[in-house]
Structure 1
C-alpha cells in the first residue's frame, strides 16, 4: 500500500484519483448554477420551484452518501468507483430525455446519488493512498480538486448558458463523464476490505453501518461551517447587487479559489508537522472575519478582502476537517469516515440556503452575514471542546489500533 510504504503523495494513482474527482465536481457545479434558470424557462415555473429542482441534487447526494458509506469499506473504493462512474454517465444522459418537470426532478436526485457514490469513493481512495505521516498535506492536496472544480464549473456554466443552448452543456457533461470513467481503469491499486460478520445479513439497524461514530463530531463541525459557506454561494450575487457592485460579483469565487490554492498546501504541511489546531483555529477566525466584513463594510475593496479571508478560512477548513475525520478512525473505516464528513457537508450546503432564505427579507443580507460570523465563532468553540483539546488522546488510541 502507498499509504503505508512510502511518503510520496503525487503517485500516478493519486494523480488519476485527483483528476477523476476534479472532473466530477466540475460537472456538478457547472450544472448547479444553470439548472434553476433552465427549469424556469423550460417548464414556465416559478423561481422557488426552479431553486427546488436545483437543490434536490443534494437530497440525492445524501441518499448516495448513506448507501455508499455503508458499503465502501466492505466492497472496496475502486469497485465502487467503477459502479458510480457508470451510474453517473447514465444519469448525465437522462438530461437529454424530454419529459415532465417530475422527470427532471427524478433525474436530479439520481444524478446527485451517482455523484455522491463517485466522490465518496475518490475521497476514500485518497485516504488510503496518502502516507500516514503526510495525511494532512495529502488530503489538502486532494481537496484542491474540489476547489478548482467549484471555481471553474460555475464560470463555464454561466458562460455557456449565455451563448449556447443547454444541450451543449449536457453534451459537455457526458464527455466529462466518459473521460472520468475511462480514468478509473488507470487506478491500479487494490484496497483492503473489512471483514464481514457471518450473520451480517441478519443484523438489526445500527448507526455504525452509516456513520463512523468517531467522526460524527467532525461531521457536525463540517455541517456548521458549510451553512456559513452556503450563505456565500446563495446570496453573494444578491448582496453585491444590493450594494451596487454587481458587475464584479462573479469574481468573488475566483479570488476565493486563488487564496485557497495558495494557502492550502502550506496548511497541509503545518498540520502534519504540528497538528490541525495550528491550521483550524486561524482558519475559523479568518472565515468568521470574512463574514463579519461583508456584514459591516459594504464596498468593493472589503468585498474582495472577504473573498481572500474566505479562501484562507473555509478553503482550508474543508480539507483539514476531512483529514481529521480520516485520522480519528481505524484504517479500515476510512471510507465510512469520508462519507460521514461529506454528509455533514451536503446537509450544510443543501439546507443552509433554505433556512437562511426565511430570514433574508426580514433582516437583510448584511445581517445574515453577521449572524453567520457569530455562528463561526460558536462553531470554533464547539470544535475545541469536541476535538481540539483532546486530539492527542485520540491519535494515541488510533496508533495503537494500527
Structure 2
C-alpha cells in the first residue's frame, strides 16, 4: 500500500461523524442524568450513578458477544440496526419519568452502544489503507475527543435554559443523524457469514491475537478511571471547581494536536516509538495532578495526560486489529474494548473504595506510578509479533 492512499474518503468521514454523534450523546447524558435524577425524579445521587453504571455494565456484558454478532450478520447491517435501536431507546427519555423504567432503558441502550462502538471501529479499520492504519485510527479516535468537549458543553450550557424534555429531544435528534451517516457508508465487500452457527467458546467471544494488547489497554484504562471518576470532586476539594470545567477541554485539545503526528510516526517508525514515551507522559501527568495546588497546574496536568493517554489508546487499538486476521477485525475490536471498559469499571470501583482512606492526591500518585507497569506489559505483549517477524526474516534469507 502506498503512503499516498487517502484516508479521508467520503465513507470514512461518514463513520467518523456517526461515531461523533453517538459519543456526543453518551458524554452529554453522562453529565446531565445525575442532575435529572435528583431534580426531576426526586432520586438520590446513588440512583443517578446507577443510571450511569447500569449502562456501562450492560455494555461490558454485551461486548464479548458483539464481535460474533457483527461477523454473523455483517458490519453494515448491524451498524444500521444498532444505531436505529439506540436512537429509538433515546427517544423514550422524553416521556418516561420512572427511574426504574429508565434504568431498564439504559441497560438496553448499553447493549446497542457496545455493538455500535465495536462495529464503527471495525468499519473504520477496514476503510483505512493498511499502511496508514495508525494515522487513520488516530483521526477516528479524535471524534471521541471532540465529543468529550461538545457533549457536556452543550448539555451544561442549556441545562438552565430549556427543559429536560427538550434536552433529551435535542440529543436524540443528534443521534438520529447517525442513522443517515450509517446508511451512506459503503464498506468493503464482506463474506456471507449469516449461516454461521454461534457457539459459546473463547474464539467466538474473543480474538486470541488481540488479547495481550487488550490486557495493556485494561491497565491503562484502570489508571485513567481515576481521572474521569474523581477529577471534578478533587478540583472542588482544592477550590478549583471553575477551572475544572476547562480540564477536559485542554485535555482534548492536547490529544487532537499530538495525534496526527503520533499516528504518522506509528506508521513510519513503529508503535514502540510512540507508546513508550506516551506511557511516561501519562505517568508524569498523573503525578502532576497529585501535586496540583493551582488552576494553572491543574490545566497543565490535563494537557500532559491528554498527550500521553491520548496517544496510547489509538495505538493499542490499532495493534489489536493488526495482530488479528483481517476477517476478525470485529472480534479484535470487541476484545480490546471489553478489557478497556472493564479497566474503567474496576478502577472506578477500586479507587472509590480507597479514596476515603488515602485522599485524592494519593490515588493520583498511585496511578502515576502504577501506569509505568505498562512499559513492561507492552514489551511482553509484543513478544509474539516480534518472534513472528524474526521467523519471517529467517525464512526470507
Tell me which interval the TM-score lies in, with the shorter structure as reference length: over 0.9
The whole-number CA distance in structure 2 between the counterparts of 1:299 and 1:325 is 39
Query: Are residues 1:348 and 2:343 paired?
Result: yes
- The match for 2:140 among 112, 117, 142 is 142
Structure 2 residues without counterparts, runs of 5 or longer = none
- The match for 2:94 among 93, 96, 102 is 96
Q: Counterparts of 1:377-396 in structure 2 under 5 Å?
A: 377-387=372-382, 389-394=383-388
Determine the structure 2 residue equivalent to 1:260: 255
- 1:390 is displaced (CA, Å) by 4.9
Report how many aligned residue pairs link the two structures.
394
What do the CA deviations read for 1:118-154 (whole angstroms, capped 9, x no partner)?
1111101011011111111111111111111122112
- The match for 1:330 among 303, 325, 340 is 325
Q: 1:351 to 1:165 in 2, by over 3 A?
A: farther
Structure 1 residues without counterparts, runs of 5 or longer = none
The whole-number CA distance in structure 2 between the counterparts of 1:64 and 1:191 is 26
The whole-number CA distance in structure 1 between the counterparts of 2:27 and 2:200 is 34
What do the CA deviations read for 1:256-311 (whole angstroms, capped 9, x no partner)?
11100000010000000011111111110011111111112422222111111111
SS at match of 1:253: helix
Query: Are residues 1:275 and 2:270 paired?
Result: yes
The whole-number CA distance in structure 1 between the counterparts of 2:392 and 2:219 is 26
What do the CA deviations read for 1:69-113 (whole angstroms, capped 9, x no partner)?
112223221111111111111111121232422111111111121
What do the CA deviations read for 1:223-278 (whole angstroms, capped 9, x no partner)?
22112222111111111111122211100000011100000010000000011111
The whole-number CA distance in structure 2 between the counterparts of 1:5 and 1:194 is 31
The whole-number CA distance in structure 2 between the counterparts of 1:74 and 1:6 is 33
- The match for 1:24 among 6, 22, 25 is 22
- The match for 2:161 among 152, 163, 166 is 163
What do the CA deviations read for 1:147-174 (whole angstroms, capped 9, x no partner)?
1112211222222223322112211122
- 1:397 is displaced (CA, Å) by 8.3
Determine the structure 2 residue equivalent to 1:36: 34
The whole-number CA distance in structure 2 between the counterparts of 1:345 and 1:216 is 11
- 1:4 is displaced (CA, Å) by 9.5
The whole-number CA distance in structure 1 between the counterparts of 2:330 and 2:176 is 24
Determine the structure 1 residue equivalent to 2:56: 58
Relative to the length of structure 2, the TM-score reads 0.93
Query: Are residues 1:208 and 2:203 paired?
Result: yes
- 1:367 is displaced (CA, Å) by 0.4
Kept in 1: contact 2:71–2:193 (CA 8 A) = no
Q: 1:113 to 1:4 in 2, by over 3 A?
A: farther
The whole-number CA distance in structure 1 between the counterparts of 2:111 and 2:136 is 26
The whole-number CA distance in structure 2 between the counterparts of 1:70 and 1:179 is 26
Kept in 1: contact 2:19–2:117 (CA 8 A) = yes
Query: Higher mean Cα deviation, 69-78 or 187-196?
Result: 187-196
Determine the structure 2 residue equivalent to 1:373: 368
Kept in 1: contact 2:126–2:187 (CA 8 A) = no
Determine the structure 2 residue equivalent to 1:313: 308
- The match for 2:180 among 176, 179, 182 is 182
Determine the structure 1 residue equivalent to 2:105: 107
Determine the structure 2 residue equivalent to 1:249: 244
- The match for 2:119 among 112, 118, 121 is 121
The whole-number CA distance in structure 2 between the counterparts of 1:194 and 1:397 is 34
- 1:182 is displaced (CA, Å) by 1.1
Determine the structure 1 residue equivalent to 2:230: 235
Query: Higher mean Cα deviation, 303-312 or 36-45?
Result: 36-45
Query: Higher mean Cα deviation, 14-23 or 164-173?
Result: 164-173
Q: 1:5 to 1:309 in 2, by over 3 A?
A: closer
SS at match of 2:184: coil
Provide the alpha-carbon RMSD of the alignment.
2.2
What do the CA deviations read for 1:176-232 (whole angstroms, capped 9, x no partner)?
122110111211234323758x8x53x752111111111112112112211222211
The whole-number CA distance in structure 2 between the counterparts of 1:283 and 1:370 is 17
Query: Are residues 1:11 and 2:9 paired?
Result: yes
What do the CA deviations read for 1:17-69 (whole angstroms, capped 9, x no partner)?
11101111111111111111211223323222221222211012123322321
Kept in 1: contact 2:219–2:374 (CA 8 A) = yes
The whole-number CA distance in structure 1 between the counterparts of 2:158 and 2:109 is 20
SS at match of 1:322: helix
Query: Higher mean Cα deviation, 135-144 or 42-51?
Result: 42-51
Query: Higher mean Cα deviation, 59-68 or 140-149?
Result: 59-68
